[in-house]
Amino acid sequence: MAQAVRGPGVKAAARSAAGSRTGGLRLPGARAVARSAAASAAPGGAELDEFCDAIWLEDGLARNSIDSYRRDLAQFADWLAQPPRETGLLAAGRVELLDYLAHRVRIGARASSSGRLLSAMKRFYRFMLARGRIPVDPTLEIDAPRHVRALPHSLSEAQVEALLEAPDIGDPVGLRDRAMLEVLYATGLRVTELVSLTLPQVSREMGVVRVVGKGSKERLVPLGEESLAWLARYLAQGRGEILGARHSTALFVTSRGESMTRQAFWYRIKLHGRSAGIVQPISPHVLRHAFATHLVNHGADLRVVQLLLGHADISTTQIYTHVARERLKDVHRRHHPRG
């Protein structure tokens, strides 16, 4: 069943009386977009509106990815508009792009941040070139800055167990949090994928969850017996108590009858991390890293981990082999007599 998708760059959305439903099914792009006049009037605003609309409609990029593209390019447009440059996105050339990248280095931007910016620039200028808006792509001969990928922060298996046991399961909200943590550790979902889950996406009979990930790509991820048991307990004893008389298709709900936000779950996992005595920084993504790291440590094939995580490229998943290698080195140092 097609699902409604919120468009990019949206500050407020209002239902469209015409075209909001076709054949009784809600379609992507069915909401009318009430754009922020301030955003469109800002330097490069019209071009960014056009670009963001196109990559949403044509490529189906996730809202967070489109917001990131727009934010990076809007900052570049603001910089271009300042004296002595006083130019726009479509008039900028290779020199202006390199000057801006150098400016970001001077103000302390990380290589990964500059790499993401250049990726947005390349996509934007390829789009404008294809539509005949510029005569040449100014990013053609600009290479992304090299950077050493840091090993992801993770948790030990003992720390994960302590975190999972932290919520008060005698309380409906605590039971919901326990189920969310169990599902997150069992599946390695991104936090947006987790909080966006709906009841129809979960097949308890098959023991899988249907996940809509980046680029609206779908994948099936096994839940495992433990998380299925906690999910069943939450659905039987907690979800109805939280909702009260309200109705919702969201799997993990709040007292307002809505799905939980990413920020709210971030706060909840930090709260439970403190209760579990975990002093290192913790976030939903750290538990996703723990899921992948523990799979690799126990011998899982890297291609399987790639599929479960929803990585488009195996190179993204390969970082976990380095994590496992570092763990082996640490064990050797601590336990070998000549370590």
Choose the catalytic residue: 176, 190, 239, 272.
190
Q: Is 274 a catalytic residue?
A: no
Active site residue 325: no
Q: Which of 35, 94, 285, 327 is catalytic?
A: 285
Q: Catalytic annotation on 210?
A: no
Q: Strand runs (DSSP E) across the chain, as ranges?
A: 12-15, 31-34, 202-203, 208-212, 218-222
Active-site residue (options: 69, 185, 234, 320): 320
> Could you tell me the sign of the dihedral formed by the alpha carbons of 132, 133, 137, 139, in that order?
negative
3-state secondary structure 270-297: HHHHHHCCCCCCCCHHHHHHHHHHHHHH
- On whether the CB atoms of residues 163 and 272 are closer than 8 A, the answer is yes
* Integer CA distances (angstroms), 17 to 22, 24, 30, 35, 186, in order: 11, 13, 10, 17, 42
Residue 298, C-beta contacts closer than 8 angstroms, at least 6 positions apart? none
Alpha-carbon distance 44 to 245, whole Å? 47
Tokens read off for 303? 């291609």
Active site residue 217: no
**214 tagged catalytic:** yes
Between CA 9 and CA 20 the distance in angstroms is 19
**Could you say which of 26, 126, 214, 327 is catalytic?**
214
Q: At what angle do helices 319-335 and 302-309 cross, to 10 degrees?
A: 120
User: What gap in Å lies between CA 82 and CA 103, rounded to an integer?
Assistant: 13
Q: Which residue out of 176, 178, 268, 311 is catalytically annotated?
A: 311
Backbone dihedral angles phi then psi of residue 63, each to the nearest 5 degrees: -55, -45
Q: Which of 31, 288, 289, 294 is catalytic?
A: 288
Is residue 288 flagged as an active site residue? yes
Strands 218-222 and 208-212: antiparallel
- Residues known to be catalytic: 190, 214, 285, 288, 311, 320
